[in-house]
Chains A and B, each alone.
Chain A
Amino acid sequence: MKPAPFRFAAPACLSEALELTREYGDRCKVLAGGQSLGPLLNLRLSTPEVLIDLGRIAELADPPCAGHRRVSVGAMTTQYTVEVSPLVAQQIPLLAAAMPYVAHRTIRNRGTIGGSIAHADPSAEIPAVAVAAAAEFTVRSASSSRAIPAEQFFTGYFSTVLEPDEIVTSVSFPMRAERQGGSWAEFAPRRGDFGIVGVAAMLRLDGSASRIVDCRLVYSGIADRPWYAPEVTADCIGQAPEVELFAHVAEQAARACSPVDDAAGSADYRRNLVHHLSTKALLGAAASIGGEGKP
């Protein structure tokens, strides 16, 4: 099938795009790579009156760059650019670890980091990583600009706090702290398929690298948005980063979650994956700290 007829706009600058979103509001859709929206349009599950392609707006495509204790990335930066960025590898190990799991290489060549965030697919990697890494999104409309913590951004299936006239313009991540690591674990029937469950693990150790001072687990494929369960990792704080502890946390997580139940995976199966993947992600996060932080 082909999309229903729509008007196509390809503004050259952000202000022009924001004028369009102000004018059309929820009658328009923003095209930010099109790797998810394209199929939705073709299947006519989405039938906007106006399609606004952000692909020609250079100011939205800034590659990862280091600022004051944060790394910021333009929303229209391709997933592949993020995947191969040395700065991301060095400063946001969790994001670097997750990027190869985002669909297939050909899709990452076109798909954008901001597009994935605004699309808010609960089984996608980048939203879960953003929550775990305490990312912040800069969101603009013609009349306003605001910064939204990732944790407050996602509100449900393909739903966010974005107003119809707002566009995500950039994403920023805190730079890696001392003795902080991150890892991504995911199960998909085959690499590149939609993951059934994914886990972002962020771990920080104390000065002696013997105790955990911060630990976050955020899951894709469990709820209608990235599932962040601080109570699951509460027991970790002050403990040594050991396999037994991680297995205990994983058990807690499996108990605490109430996964969705659908054709891609039953609740029981997803719970099993939470158990299995949590340990794997935590071990990975600990290993990424390296040196004496290794359990």
Chain B
Amino acid sequence: MSLFQSVGRSVTKVDSFDKAHGRAGYVADLPWPGVWNGAVVRAQRAHAMIRAIDVSAALAHPGVHAVVTGADLSDLFPYFGHYRADHPILAIDRVRYWGEPVAVVVADTPQQAQDAAFLVEVDYEDLAAMMDPEAATADGAVLIHPEHLHDTATFGAGAFWRPGAADTNEAFTTELGWGDVDAAMASAAHVQTTQVRYPMLYPYPMESYAAQARFVSGTLEVESNTQHPFQVRRDLARIFSLGLSRVRVTSMTIGGGYGAKSYSKIEPLAAACSHVVGAPVRIALSLEESMYTSRADGAQVRVTTGFDSDGSILARDITVLLDTGAYTDNSVRVLRKSLECCFGPYRVPALRARGRAIYTNTTPASSYRGFGAFHTNPASEANLDIAADRLGLDPLEIRLRNLAKFGESIIPDTRPVDSDLASDLTTAHDALSIEPRPSKLQGMGFGVALSPEGADPTSIAIVRLLVDGTAVLLLGSAEMGQGSRTIMAQIIAEELGLDHTDVAFAPVDTQLVGFQWTTGASRTTSVVGLSVQRACHDIRRQLVEMAAEVAEQSVKEWSWSGGKVLGPDGTELRAAEVIAQWFGSDRGEVVGVGRTQKRGDLDQSPVLWEVGVAGVVVSVDAQTGQVELDQLVTVADVGKALNPLNVEGQDLGAAMQALGGALFEEIIYDGPQMANSDLVEYRVPRITDLPQRVSSVLVERADGPGPYGAKPVGEGAMTAIGGAVLAAVARAIGRWPDRLPLTPEYVWDLMNSGEEVDS
């Protein structure tokens, strides 16, 4: 029998019926009455100076109220970006990528605005387009940010990242290391170098970006589908020089986020338009426009490892080069996390990891589920696999020899590993089997990853226990399909002895809910859940105090137990009874507040470690190079599964999403323009791409820092898939790929390359 009443049960997601019945409130479906609609005029150049913008024809179009351009924003701080404010709300004098917003036509209807947007004429003076890091770092490269906004760097510069070298297209750099790498390499019995390129991706949430903005009595109100309403609030307050209390950001139901909706996206644009035209403005983008708004970084990762003769790692020397696009956005964190993940969850006595991000004239890159980890894990894991081959070791054995054990720190002075990684990996390995298929080349691959997650652990939760015993949660976490509301309801139900369906949720509105750092970095269950748990404990404390006060007894004689308030004489009171006794019937409530910060249990960095373990069996068609998945196994080492079905959905969902970058997906630029900015050309995995044999093994050892011993889930499998698929294909065809995705043509090319790819 379970110790728990609500936690640990696979209850149905609390919002699934609304979503299935079309009742969930997505921002694009809920325009304010009388709101004007903006359509974005996008740059038809990758790199150019703007000589002039002729808006006259657009202004003459029926229904058009205004055409807003960068020149109209001169009374604002017209940039955003939390690491470095280098991202103009609208292009100012210069465009830095094809599709960059150059103007917004504001009209009565979206159709009028869209039609008129085609009438805006932009006169460009072309600059050489720097379409990839090679071009952008070549001699004589044209600078994308000649002004180099070093002075507006706002967060962490110097501490863990540095602006790139002046007068280059290097955007920023970071380094991580310890020990004497050169000496260790010199003494190594075997040195292995591996390079793997990870493609640029679009995270593809089904719901595109949408926002509406208005000014009401001196307060800026914005509704959008952001994952990070409080980060958007900060950007908007700076843009408009407003106090935080005068910026109200509401995050509506989100139709998938995956990091694509982190930080500010089109909220500053909608707000700036509303400011200029003096009316509420709504902007809802198409999928194609969303692909021109944000993407994931492309990465070139090179790993050199020195091993002793028994396969123990002596040192790793790693470089990570990111193609970060036109603006910084969150890629500072992408680069930093790349370094924190690039050497794997292994005991590495000496490490030298160097990261550089290069500006290019492409869509700006930012967060995507598992970033940094999925970028670097394939190179790191393939490097071990190839070395194992050379050293005559089994690929499982070389990992078991080097995996960090429970309680060891993989980075000096950081949170020790809180998982039995060797056991997790062995579980995945043992679950894999090749079932022979005629005329196919088959192979097996597996891997393990450990990612620093949790971001900043600041969370404030407010729980209102109402007089009838039901509860309302005021929380700044965004529900984006990951099931966080269900988990929070289960925690409240557990802590206050309620049914989880008796918990309701306030809108995610920055004027209503407590501060929340972000919804990301797999932090919601394990970090935010703690703050919710603490808010419930605050309510329990108050109920005990209230009961003691009514009884005119010492608070020490009263306590909380089994979902009830207990008195000294055996009295048992339900929460509702205590509230009724203290306030009088049908009135009053108890408000509990819980908070978390880098204190106590969460004082260590990283706040959380997230485990990712995956294994696959693939079949390759020798004639076409097509790769099919025969089996997929993931291991969800989550400490405690608050909702096991939800954990399985998160783990397999992440694995499936990662199949995209492993097998199908890649943003391709054909000259200055994205060649596949739609879902016909840009192929995401479909349910039919999953194999018949799929399993997610749940591991619960209650060893995490979250509530009930929980650890994060949702990104882990995403990080381990790329390397597992790469190794499986390599073993099937006898060649080691040096890039992803493993498209049929690339695999066929490899098979016919005649020589083993230099690894």
Query: Residues of A at under 8 Å CB distance from B?
Result: 1-2, 4-5, 39, 43-44, 187, 189-191, 193-194, 263, 265-266, 268-269, 272-273, 276
Q: Return the contact of A263 from the options B670, B683, B748 (Cβ within 8 A).
A: B670
Those 7 A-B pairs whose CB atoms lie nearest each other, nearest first = A276-B623, A269-B745, A1-B286, A187-B624, A189-B744, A263-B668, A263-B675
Q: Is the pair A1, B114 in contact by a Cβ cutoff of 8 Å? A: yes
In the assembled complex, which residues on chain B have CB atoms less than 8 Å from the CB atom of A193? Answer: 683
Q: Is the pair B680, A269 in contact by a Cβ cutoff of 8 Å? A: no
Query: Residues of B at under 8 Å CB distance from A?
Result: 110-111, 114-115, 118, 286, 288, 623-624, 626, 664, 668, 670, 675-676, 678, 680, 683, 686, 688-689, 743-745, 748-749, 752
Taking the closest CB of chain B, its distance from the CB of A109, in whole angstroms, is: 18
Q: Is the pair A269, B115 in contact by a Cβ cutoff of 8 Å? A: no
User: Given A4-B115, A265-B745, A272-B748, does the pair A189, B626 have CB atoms closer than 8 Å?
Assistant: yes
Q: Is the pair A273, B624 in contact by a Cβ cutoff of 8 Å? A: yes
Taking the closest CB of chain A, its distance from the CB of B44, in whole angstroms, is: 13
Which residue of the partner chain B has the closest CB to A276?
Answer: B623
Bound Cα distance A4, B118 (Å): 9
Give 14 CB contacts A-B under 8 Å.
A43-B288, A44-B118, A187-B744, A189-B626, A190-B689, A191-B688, A263-B670, A263-B675, A268-B749, A269-B744, A269-B748, A272-B748, A272-B752, A276-B624
Q: Is the pair B683, A266 in contact by a Cβ cutoff of 8 Å? A: no
Bound Cα distance A4, B112 (Å): 10
Q: Is the pair A266, B745 in contact by a Cβ cutoff of 8 Å? A: yes
Bound Cα distance A2, B745 (Å): 34
Taking the closest CB of chain A, its distance from the CB of B547, in whole angstroms, is: 62
Which residue of the partner chain B has the closest CB to A44?
Answer: B118
Taking the closest CB of chain A, its distance from the CB of B58, in whole angstroms, is: 14
Most buried by B among A2, A5, A191, A269: A269
Which residue of the partner chain B has the closest CB to A275?
Answer: B623
Most buried by A among B675, B689, B748: B748
Bound Cα distance A194, B680 (Å): 9
Bound Cα distance A189, B681 (Å): 12
Taking the closest CB of chain A, its distance from the CB of B282, in whole angstroms, is: 15
In the assembled complex, which residues on chain A have CB atoms less than 8 Å from the CB atom of B114? Answer: 1-2
In the assembled complex, which residues on chain A have CB atoms less than 8 Å from the CB atom of B110? Answer: 2
Bound Cα distance A273, B110 (Å): 45
Q: Return the contact of B111 from the options A2, A194, A263 (Cβ within 8 A).
A: A2
Bound Cα distance A34, B524 (Å): 45
Bound Cα distance A189, B626 (Å): 7
In the assembled complex, which residues on chain B have CB atoms less than 8 Å from the CB atom of A189? Answer: 626, 664, 683, 743-744
Most buried by A among B626, B744, B752: B744
Q: Is the pair A1, B683 in contact by a Cβ cutoff of 8 Å? A: no
Q: Is the pair A190, B748 in contact by a Cβ cutoff of 8 Å? A: no
Bound Cα distance A2, B109 (Å): 12
Q: Is the pair B745, A5 in contact by a Cβ cutoff of 8 Å? A: no
In the assembled complex, which residues on chain B have CB atoms less than 8 Å from the CB atom of A190? Answer: 664, 683, 686, 688-689
Which residue of the partner chain B has the closest CB to A272?
Answer: B748
Bound Cα distance A204, B288 (Å): 48
In the assembled complex, which residues on chain A have CB atoms less than 8 Å from the CB atom of B115? Answer: 4-5
In the assembled complex, which residues on chain A have CB atoms less than 8 Å from the CB atom of B664? Answer: 189-190
Bound Cα distance A44, B664 (Å): 27
In the assembled complex, which residues on chain A have CB atoms less than 8 Å from the CB atom of B668? Answer: 263
Taking the closest CB of chain A, its distance from the CB of B206, in whole angstroms, is: 17
Taking the closest CB of chain A, its distance from the CB of B489, in whole angstroms, is: 37
In the assembled complex, which residues on chain A have CB atoms less than 8 Å from the CB atom of B111? Answer: 2
Taking the closest CB of chain B, its distance from the CB of A226, in whole angstroms, is: 21
Which residue of the partner chain B has the closest CB to A279?
Answer: B623
In the assembled complex, which residues on chain A have CB atoms less than 8 Å from the CB atom of B688? Answer: 190-191
In the assembled complex, which residues on chain A have CB atoms less than 8 Å from the CB atom of B748? Answer: 269, 272
In the assembled complex, which residues on chain B have CB atoms less than 8 Å from the CB atom of A1? Answer: 114, 286, 288
Taking the closest CB of chain A, its distance from the CB of B115, in whole angstroms, is: 6
Which residue of the partner chain B has the closest CB to A265?
Answer: B745
In the assembled complex, which residues on chain A have CB atoms less than 8 Å from the CB atom of B675? Answer: 263
Taking the closest CB of chain A, its distance from the CB of B40, in whole angstroms, is: 11
- A43-B288, A190-B664, A194-B680 known; 5 new pairs, CB 8 Å cut-off, are A2-B111, A44-B118, A187-B624, A191-B688, A273-B624
In the assembled complex, which residues on chain A have CB atoms less than 8 Å from the CB atom of B680? Answer: 39, 194
Bound Cα distance A187, B624 (Å): 8
Taking the closest CB of chain B, its distance from the CB of A166, in whole angstroms, is: 28
